[in-house]
A = this chain, B = another copy of it.
Amino acid sequence: MQPSTRSTTRQWQGIIAHYGARMQIRRDVTPVTLLEGNTPLIPAPRLAEALGGGFELFLKYEGLNPTGSFKDRGMTAAITQAVAEGAQAVICASTGNTAASAAAYAARAGLKCIVLVPEGKIALGKLAGALSYGAEVLAIEGNFDDGLRLVRAASEHVPIAVVNSINPARLQGQKTAAFEICDALGEAPDWLCLPVGNAGNITAYWMGFTEYYNDGIIQRRPHLLGAQAEGAAPIVREHVVEKPETIATAIRIGNPARWQEAKQALTESKGRATAVSDEEILEWQAKIARLEGVFVEPACAAGIAAIAKGRREGWLNIEEQRVVSIMTGHGLKDPDAALKKAPQPRTIPASLDALLEALIR
């Protein structure tokens, strides 16, 4: 891909600079970028063993994007597009990650940003981010699905750009994660597993793999393993969930905007969607951190829990195969969820005797 002509340094310049020729967005303005993308694909051999072994596992650590989640890929595209179209303000509904990302990129572009979040159901780190970046945060007495409905309706009454994943520029950015995985491995993996909430991300990944496949850059596309939480599993259950509930706030969505696209991607890929419990999510979140040193938000662990479930129940055959699991957000986004399962620190006096006793015990 062509490097940005405005680059003042020799390093990675963000996904539009690197993959822009493959992105259907306006490219006649300077990209609004925080140098997102280029995230590490971390080998996870100890976690693979804990999942029964006999396959190769990588974690795509999207939590290392600038605002701590994969949302930055779509947002550099959506905000750049909004600037090109002359927008003065942007709006989105969010479970938290989109809010932080929209707020950050809007701040960088000097645009006003309004985000709607479900009252009392947003993780601390996500709220702190959105507020810090200067967004106007409105907590609505409803869930994500209510928020998205309101945002769509409001945009018909006031001149404001919607940057939810119903905005096509968002998927154009998000699909670049599929490109990066193929570029790093030299081929697509056999399986790609990821959490599915509003279903924009699974749609974008499939779009990315399909484009590389159609252009002959990869020789096959991966099977997709989509993970939902038991209390918020509309795609698995095949019906809307009126009151979605799960500790994995990022996928606490009952009526996904990209439901049909997700279903099609799952079918075309000969993949599968499955639901896992909050207990399994927290268990695997802890194991990912303790075995590999990778701290993720709960939703990410749903993908790994789905692998465990599929092997346990015998419907997932990944022997000798290569699996990439998407770690969509950093654990720091939701410190409270992590602390629920963690042992509390012990307090000791500041003396050598007390420390030695603690060490020997």
A332 with B128: CB separation less than 8 A: yes
A1 within 8 A of partner (CB): no
Residues of B within 8 A of A105 (CB): 293
Q: Mark interface residues in A32-74 (1 if CB within 8 Å of B CB, else 0).
A: 0011001011110010000000000010010011111000000
Residues of B within 8 A of A108 (CB): 46, 292-293
Residues of B within 8 A of A360 (CB): 158
Cα A331 to Cα B131 with chains together (Å): 12
Nearest B-chain residue to A290, judged by Cβ: B134
B355 with A138: CB separation less than 8 A: yes
A350 within 8 A of partner (CB): yes
Choice from B66, B107, B356 contacting A40 with Cβ under 8 Å: B66
A154 within 8 A of partner (CB): yes
A127 with B332: CB separation less than 8 A: no
Q: Mark interface residues in A76-120 (1 if CB within 8 Å of B CB, else 0).
A: 000000000000000100000000100111111010001011010
Nearest B-chain residue to A292, judged by Cβ: B108
* Partner-contacting stretch, out of A7-15, A257-265, A270-278, A309-317: A7-15
Chain B nearest Cβ from A285, distance in angstroms: 8
* Partner-contacting stretch, out of A19-27, A202-210, A227-235, A339-347: A339-347
Q: Mark interface residues in A286-323 (1 if CB within 8 Å of B CB, else 0).
A: 10011111110000000000000000000000000000
Q: Mark interface residues in A317-339 (1 if CB within 8 Å of B CB, else 0).
A: 00000000000001111011011
Given A138-B358, A154-B355, A184-B11: A127 touches B339 (CB 8 Å cut-off)? yes
Chain B nearest Cβ from A331, distance in angstroms: 6
Choice from B11, B40, B66, B183 contacting A35 with Cβ under 8 Å: B40
A40 with B11: CB separation less than 8 A: yes
Residues of B within 8 A of A138 (CB): 345-348, 355, 358
Choice from B34, B139, B336, B355 contacting A293 with Cβ under 8 Å: B34
A137 within 8 A of partner (CB): yes
A352 within 8 A of partner (CB): yes
Cα A34 to Cα B11 with chains together (Å): 20
A359 within 8 A of partner (CB): yes
Nearest B-chain residue to A361, judged by Cβ: B136
A218 within 8 A of partner (CB): no
A64 with B66: CB separation less than 8 A: yes
Name A120-167 residues within 8 Å CB distance of B.
124-125, 127-129, 131-134, 136-142, 146-147, 150-151, 153-154, 157-158, 160
Chain B nearest Cβ from A185, distance in angstroms: 6
Choice from B141, B157, B346 contacting A356 with Cβ under 8 Å: B157
A349 within 8 A of partner (CB): yes
B352 with A153: CB separation less than 8 A: yes
Nearest B-chain residue to A56, judged by Cβ: B8
Choice from B9, B125, B127, B147 contacting A41 with Cβ under 8 Å: B9
Provide 19 A-B residue pairs closer than 8 Å at the C-beta atoms, listed in order of the A residue.
A8-B43, A9-B41, A104-B293, A106-B293, A107-B292, A108-B293, A124-B124, A127-B345, A128-B335, A131-B338, A132-B338, A132-B342, A138-B355, A140-B348, A141-B349, A150-B350, A158-B356, A158-B360, A330-B332
